[in-house]
Structure 1
């Protein structure tokens, strides 16, 4: 156990340092959606208004669709970063997920506030 304490719990492997792990090819459609969101405010609004239609258009898998729900739900949040890990676990590039959450947040927040005002 001396080694664990000495290296802060890091277990060394006899391999090179993995600086970057590419998103899986199976997550291409999710990553394409996240990229497009950052370029297209109208798409952001479509995601907020009808995520199911956009998810079908982009061919998202059920797990990816579930993670993308965070793009809608983030409007009612105080901590935006908690919506990033589900996207990453679904295969999104971490920085793309963060930037997409930050991009859609103002529109999602406005929709959330309008919904609260109605009720």
Structure 2
């Protein structure tokens, strides 16, 4: 699974080390050598799991689809976005740290939000 491109549709086989990667940045992270550039690339479709070759010197709009299942593998990449954080603890992550500071008054059963005169006026 690629951490650089979230919606990757095809893997590439690196011509230098012949290993499979989801993107060139994944190759750079895992390898100690640069990705060798070539005119013919080998792709593996993530939808049908079949391998196909493409000549990059003669690449046009019809080559953006897998020849086996017509999966559109050349699409605009969705990359992870930085999220804004809030200083301090996030109560959604660990709600046990939140303490209810309100006073619980269960000793007085006649306690009401209305004053006694309001209740007497409404009842009588």
**Normalising TM by the smaller chain, what interval?**
under 0.3
Which structure is higher in strand share? 2
Q: Which structure is richer in relative contact order (CA contacts within 8 A, separation 6 or more)?
A: 1
**Larger Cα Rg: Structure 1 or Structure 2?**
2
TM-score by length of 2: 0.23
TM-score by length of 1: 0.24
